[in-house]
Structure 1
Amino acid sequence: MFDKYRIVKILGSGGSATVYLARHIKLESFRAIKCIRKDNPFYKDALREAYILKNLRHSNIPIIYDIEEDPRCSYIIEEYIEGESLKSFRLNHRFIQESIIINFSMQICELIQYLHKNEKPILYLDLKPENIMVSNHTLKLIDFGTAVYFKEPEKYTHTVGTKGYAAPEQYKKGKIDERCDVYGIGMLLFYLVTGRTFDWKINEFKNIDKVSNCSKKLKGIINKCLKYYPSHRYQSVLHLYNKLSEIRQNSLAANLLKSDKSLTVSLAGSQNRIGTTHTALLITSYTNKYVANSIYMEQNDHRVVKSIIQRYKNVKEKRHIYTLFDCNMTEVQELDKELLKNYQIIVKDFGVLTQENLIDFLDGNIRILILGAKEWELSNSERVLNELIEYKDITYLFNFVDGKVFREAVKSMDGKNCSRIPYVVNPLKITHNESISELIKEILGHSYFNRKKSKIFKFIYQRIRSYTVDQEKGLLGEEKPDINT
C-alpha cells in the first residue's frame, strides 16, 4: 500500500471505516491504517477526526503519522496501540482494585483537561470503554469521531455520544460544555466499579452506594459526576482530578504507614538557586515536628549539610545523622537501612533535575519539582517539563512568585497539580503556619492528619485538632514527644 506498508490483517470494521494492521516496510514497525470510503455518508466527520488528532500531542492519544488518499478512499495512518479495550479489560476482571480505577480515571482526567485547555478547546463527548485502549496500564483514547471544537455550535444540532455513557443534555439539545465530559468520566468510573452502564430509566444513583468494593469517597465522586443537572456536577475536569488525587494520596500514605514502610519524598528543581534545598528542609522540619519522624537526605553535591553543621554550634550528631532545631539531616546518600527504619518520612534532595538523577527522582513515593515563573527562569522550567511530559503524579511547586504570577503560571500547566511555596525565613526552625500546613497536607495526603489507630496517628490527630488552642496559648514551640514510648 502506497509502496510503504504491507497489510497484515483487519483489526475491525464499523459504520464509517475499516481499520487495518500494517507494517511499515522500511521501518519494520506496525501502524494502524483507517480506510474511509469517500461515498460513506460519515466521510467528512471521519476525516474531520483526523485533522483534529493531527494537531494534538499527548501521551494518551495515538500519533497521526500521515493521511493518504486514492480515488475511492482516504487513509489515516496512525500509531498502532497494542493491548485490549477498556471494555475487554473490565470483562476479563471480576474485580478491579480501587487503586487501578483511580489511576485509570486520573489518566483520563489529564487527557480531557488537555483537550479542554487546548489552543482550540475540544469537547470529547463520547467517553466509553470501547473507545479506550489499555496498553501496559496506560490508557489511549482511540476514537475522536464525536469530538468537536468548543466554539462550533453548529455541531450541537444533532445528538452526539453513546446512550448509557453520554450526559443527558446531549440528547435534549441542552447546553453542551465541559461538564458533559465530567459526566462521561463519572460513567467510566461507574462502569469500572460495577461492570455495567448507568441507565436513568432503570437505575438509580443509590445503586453505587450498595457496591462493596468501592470506598465511600469514591462513591461520592461518582454520584456527583453523574448528577442529572450539569450545575450539580463538578464544574471542571480539574476539580474532579483533584478530588481523585486526594483519594490516591490518602491511600498511598495510609498503606505505607500500615505496612511500617517509610514514605519517600523526592524533590528536584528546574535550575540552581530555585529553592529546592530550602523547600526540602522546610518539609522535613515541619513533618518532623508536627507529623512523624522525618529525615533530610542530601542526594546532590552542594554540601549544604556540611555548611550547616559548620555554621551552628548546637548541632547534635549520632551515626552520621545531624539534628538542628526541628530538622534531622544527613549528607550520606546511602544511609544504613536499620537507621532509616526510625523515620516514617524520608525527604531526598536531588538538586537540579538531570538525566543522571531522573530515575532516582522518579523512584520516590511522592515526587515534587520546584519551578520558576520569572522570564529568565522559564526556559529551564520548560526544559524539565518536557522531560517529565510522560510521567504522572508529580507535584509542581512555584517559588519566589506572587499570587498574580502564580495564577498565570498555573494556566499554562494543563491541569497539573500546582502549589506556591510559602515564605519561611528559617526552614530549620518551624513555627506553625496555616499556609505551610495546607501545603504539607496537599503533598502528603490527609491520611497523615486524620487517622487515629496507632500512637503516631493518634498523636498527629490530636495535634492538628488542638493546634488552634495551642497557638493561642503559645504551646506550638514545644518539642514533639517521643511517640515510641
Structure 2
Amino acid sequence: MSEKRVLAGTYEIIGYLQSGSGGDVYKAYHRRLKKEVILKKIRHKGVSMNINRQEVDILKNLRHTYLPQVLDFFMEDGEYYTVMTYVPGKSFKQLLNEHAVFSQNQLIRWGQQLCSALYYLHSQNPPIIHGDIKPANIMVTPEGNICLIDFNISFYMDDNTVLGYTDGYTSPEQYIIALDAQSAKSIPMHDQIDEKSDIYSLGATFYHLITGQKLQRNRTGREKDALQTHVSEAFSSVLMKSIEVDRNKRYRTAREFYQAFQNIYKKDKRYRQLLLRHRLIRGGMVALLGISIVTVGYGVHEIKLEKTEKYNDLVAEQVSYRESGDYKKEEDTYKEAVKLLPDKLESYYQNAYTLYEQQEYQKCIDFVEYDVLKSEKADLIDDRITDIYYLEAESYFELEEYDKSVEIFDRLFQYGEFDNLYYRDYAIALAYDGKTDKAQEVLQEAIDHDLTEDSIYYAKGEIEKSMGQTDSAITEFQQCIAVSEDNNLKMRSYVLISEIYEKNGKLEDERALLLEAKNALPVENQMILLERLVQTDIELANQGNTSLRDEAIEVSKEIITQGWDTYTTYNNLAILNEKQGNLGEVESILNQMKELYGDDYNIEKRFAFLEIDKQEQKANSNRDYSAFASYYEHARTMYYEQMKNNDTDAEMQLLENVYQQAVNGGWIR
C-alpha cells in the first residue's frame, strides 16, 4: 500500500504499523478531522461480511476510558476497513523489547483497567470478544494508563469468523479451532470462543510481562514458581486461575477477574502475616500466640465490618449535609469517606449529586471524568456507575451541550440495570440534539419499560418543545402537573411552561403560572420558580406595573430565608428597593453584599447611585457629593481592573456622566 494512498476520500495513509490475526494495521491522517487515526484492513478470507447499519452504529457508539473510539467502517476495492482514534504512547511489546520492568502495583492497576475495558466489551449485545489480546495490542499512554487497541471487529460482525492465534497468548480453545476443525472434535471442551478466551489471553499477557517469557502451550508445571519469583503468592494465584487450560476453571467474567485484582493485597499471605505480627507486638501478646491465631480471623472480620459501617455513616452524613444545603461539609465528608473505602462508588455519587444540585454542572462533569473515571482505585463496574453517568449526561444537558449528553447516555446504556427514567431523559436529550425520530423510538422503549403516566406526558412535552410545537408542549406539561404526585417533576413542568411564555413575550401568563406553582408546590421545590418570578416581576415593573417591585422584593427575601441566595439575589434586591425609595434598606443590603462577596466594582457603583438619591432628597445648599465621588472613583478603578473581555457596563457610563455633571456644577471640587 502506497504511503500516499487516500482511502474513502478521507484517510491518507502515513505508514504501516503491524499485522495481527485480524488484519493489517496502518497509521493514517483524517483530512476532515485533521488528526491522526488508526486504520485496519480486516483479514476475512472469504468470510461473509454482510454488515448492517445498526451493527456499525453500535460499534461507533462504544465509549470507554481504556478503549479507542471506532470512528468509521467502510469498504473500498473489495476490502473492509475500520478506523479508530490514534492512541499515543508505547505498547507493552515495545516496552518488553526495551527490557522494561513493571512493579506489582503498576500491574495490578493496569489489570483492573484492562478488566474494566473487557467487561464493557463483553457486556455489549451481542458480546464483543477482543480475540487478540497480547502485548502489541495494549498501549501505555503518556499519562501511565492503559488503552486496549485492535479489538476484533470482524469477530463481532460475523459469528462464523475463525480468529487466528498468537503463540504465547491465545487460549487453547481458540488455538485448536484456528488450526483445524478435526482437532476441535476430539476435544469437546474447546468448541467455542467467548469471554473466557479473552480472560486467558489477558492472563497470558501478564505472565509474559512478569516473567519475561511467553506462556508455553505444553505446560511444565512450574508456571506458578516462575511468577512467584517476581510477584506475591496472591498475585500469582490470580493469574494462574486466569490461564487454566480448562476454561471452566477460569474466571467466569472479566468482572470476577477485576475483583480478584482488587483483592490481591487482602489475600497476600505475607501481608496477612505482617499484620498479625504487628498486632501481636502492639498488644504484647506474643505469649498468647495460640489464642491470637484462633481470634485473628474474627478480628480482621470485625475491622472490616467497622470500616464498612463507618463508611456508610459518612455517606449518610453526605446526604444529610446536601439536603440541608451545607455543601462545604458534604465535600469534606466525601473526602473522608473516599479515603476510607476508595473503591466504593456511593460516596462519589453523592458528591456528584451535590455538585449537580448546586447547578455546578461543569464541575460535576469534571468530577465524574477525572475524579471517578480516571481513579486508579474506584470500582468502575459497581452498579452505581450508571447513576454517575446519568448525572454527567444531565449536566451536559443543562449546559445545552446536547450532543455530549447523548454521548454519555449512550455510554450509560452499555451497562446493566438502570432506572427507566433514564430512557425518558435520554429521549429528551435526543430530541434537543435534533434526533427526533430516535427520540420517539426511545420514548416508546421507556413506555415498554413501564414508564409512569406523568413521565410520559413530561417527555412528550419536552420533545414537542424541542421541535417548536409550543402549544402542544404546554398541554403535555399541564397534563403532567395534573396527574403527577412527583413534586420535582411538577416543578420541572412549571419551569418549562414558564420558559415558553417568556420566549413568546407572555409575561402576564408567566407570572400567573409561577404564582400558581408557588401555591401548589412545597417550599423545597420552589427555588427556580421563585427566581423566575422575581425576574418576571422586574420585567413587568419596567413595562409600567411598578407595584410588582414590592412583590419581587418579598419573593427575594423568601429566597434568602430559604438559603438559596446568590450575588444576583442581593443585587436585584438593592435595585428594587432603590427604585421604590427604600434607601435605608439599600444601604443595609449593600453592606451585606460587601461582607459576603468582598470588594467589587458593582457594589461600589450601587453605593454611588445610592449617594445620588440621598443627596437629591436634600436642599441644594445642604448637598454633599464627596461620598458619591469616593464611591465613583473606587468603582471606576475596580471596573477597569475587573472588566473582562472588554465588556462594557452601561450603568458605569451613566455614572460617569453624573460625575461630570456634578463636577461641572461645582458640587465636586
Deviation digits for residues 215-245 of structure 1 (CA, Å, limit 9, x no counterpart): 1111111111222222222222222211111
Residue 483 of structure 1: aligned partner? none
Say which of 104, 110, 125 aligns to 1:104.
110
Contact 1:11-1:21 within 8 A present in 2 as well = yes
Report the AA paired with residue 167 of structure 1.
S
**1:365 Cα deviation from its structure 2 partner:** 8.3
SS at match of 1:193: helix
Rounded Cα–Cα distance in structure 1 between residues aligned with 2:65 and 2:24:
24
Change beyond 3 A, Cα 1:8–1:150: closer
Report the AA paired with residue 236 of structure 1.
T
Rounded Cα–Cα distance in structure 1 between residues aligned with 2:131 and 2:211:
22
Say which of 235, 239, 258 aligns to 2:256.
239
Say which of 167, 171, 178 aligns to 2:171.
167
Say which of 209, 231, 241 aligns to 1:192.
209
SS at match of 1:148: helix
Alignment of 1:98-137 (within 5 A): 98-135=104-141, 136-137=143-144
**1:102 Cα deviation from its structure 2 partner:** 1.2
Deviation digits for residues 427-469 of structure 1 (CA, Å, limit 9, x no counterpart): xxxxxxxxxxxxxxxxxxxxxxxxxxxxxxxxxxxxxxxxxxx
Deviation digits for residues 94-134 of structure 1 (CA, Å, limit 9, x no counterpart): 42011111122222212222222211123333321122222
Say which of 414, 417, 440 aligns to 1:412.
417
Deviation digits for residues 138-186 of structure 1 (CA, Å, limit 9, x no counterpart): 333333348635993x446xx7432321222331522323322222222
Alignment of 1:82-481 (within 5 A): 82-135=88-141, 136-145=143-152, 148-149=155-156, 152=159, 154-155=160-161, 160-170=164-174, 171=176, 172-173=183-184, 174-176=190-192, 177-201=194-218, 203-208=220-225, 211-247=228-264, 286-287=306-307, 302=322, 304=324, 331=329, 350=351, 352-354=354-356, 355-357=362-364, 362=371, 383-384=390-391, 411-412=416-417
**1:302 Cα deviation from its structure 2 partner:** 3.6
- Of Structure 1 and Structure 2, the greater strand share is in 1
Rounded Cα–Cα distance in structure 2 between residues aligned with 1:202 and 1:372:
38
Report the AA paired with residue 197 of structure 1.
K
Deviation digits for residues 169-217 of structure 1 (CA, Å, limit 9, x no counterpart): 3315223233222222221221221122111436334444563331111
Rounded Cα–Cα distance in structure 2 between residues aligned with 1:19 and 1:150:
18
Range that drifts further, 126-135 or 170-179: 170-179
Report the AA paired with residue 77 of structure 1.
V
**1:91 Cα deviation from its structure 2 partner:** 3.3
Rounded Cα–Cα distance in structure 2 between residues aligned with 1:368 and 1:75:
34
SS at match of 1:82: coil
Report the AA paired with residue 412 of structure 1.
E
Report the AA paired with residue 120 of structure 2.
Y
Q: Give the RMSD, CA atoms, in angstroms.
A: 5.1
Residue 76 of structure 1: aligned partner? 82
Rounded Cα–Cα distance in structure 1 between residues aligned with 2:389 and 2:256:
24
Contact 2:109-2:376 within 8 A present in 1 as well = no
Contact 1:6-1:23 within 8 A present in 2 as well = yes
Alignment of 1:4-15 (within 5 A): 4-12=10-18
Rounded Cα–Cα distance in structure 2 between residues aligned with 1:218 and 1:44:
40
Residue 456 of structure 1: aligned partner? none
**1:85 Cα deviation from its structure 2 partner:** 1.6
Rounded Cα–Cα distance in structure 1 between residues aligned with 2:307 and 2:223:
40
**1:45 Cα deviation from its structure 2 partner:** 7.7
Rounded Cα–Cα distance in structure 2 between residues aligned with 1:372 and 1:144:
25
Rounded Cα–Cα distance in structure 2 between residues aligned with 1:359 and 1:70:
40
Report the AA paired with residue 87 of structure 1.
K
Report the AA paired with residue 80 of structure 1.
Y
SS at match of 2:206: helix
Rounded Cα–Cα distance in structure 2 between residues aligned with 1:289 and 1:58:
32
SS at match of 2:33: coil
Report the AA paired with residue 103 of structure 2.
Q
TM-score, normalised with respect to structure 1: 0.52
**1:89 Cα deviation from its structure 2 partner:** 2.3
Rounded Cα–Cα distance in structure 1 between residues aligned with 2:417 and 2:76:
41
Report the AA paired with residue 352 of structure 1.
T
Residue 22 of structure 1: aligned partner? 28
Change beyond 3 A, Cα 1:134–1:387: farther
Rounded Cα–Cα distance in structure 2 between residues aligned with 1:22 and 1:146:
18
Greater gyration radius: 2
Contact 2:139-2:146 within 8 A present in 1 as well = yes
Contact 1:133-1:141 within 8 A present in 2 as well = yes
Change beyond 3 A, Cα 1:93–1:30: same
- Of Structure 1 and Structure 2, the greater helix share is in 2
Report the AA paired with residue 225 of structure 1.
S
Rounded Cα–Cα distance in structure 2 between residues aligned with 1:14 and 1:344:
44
Report the AA paired with residue 235 of structure 1.
R
Residue 45 of structure 2: aligned partner? 42
SS at match of 2:363: coil
In structure 1, stretches of 5+ residues that fail to align are 259-282, 307-329, 389-408, 414-485
Contact 1:86-1:133 within 8 A present in 2 as well = yes
The number of residues matched between the two structures is 326
TM-score, normalised with respect to structure 2: 0.40
Rounded Cα–Cα distance in structure 2 between residues aligned with 1:241 and 1:148:
24
Contact 1:298-1:305 within 8 A present in 2 as well = no
Deviation digits for residues 393-439 of structure 1 (CA, Å, limit 9, x no counterpart): xxxxxxxxxxxxxxxx98438xxxxxxxxxxxxxxxxxxxxxxxxxx
Deviation digits for residues 249-295 of structure 1 (CA, Å, limit 9, x no counterpart): 889xx9xxx9xxxxxxxxxxxxxxxxxxxxxxxx999549989xx99
SS at match of 1:122: coil
Rounded Cα–Cα distance in structure 2 between residues aligned with 1:84 and 1:249:
31
Deviation digits for residues 326-365 of structure 1 (CA, Å, limit 9, x no counterpart): xxxx949679xxxx9xx98998963535342565682888
Contact 2:321-2:329 within 8 A present in 1 as well = no
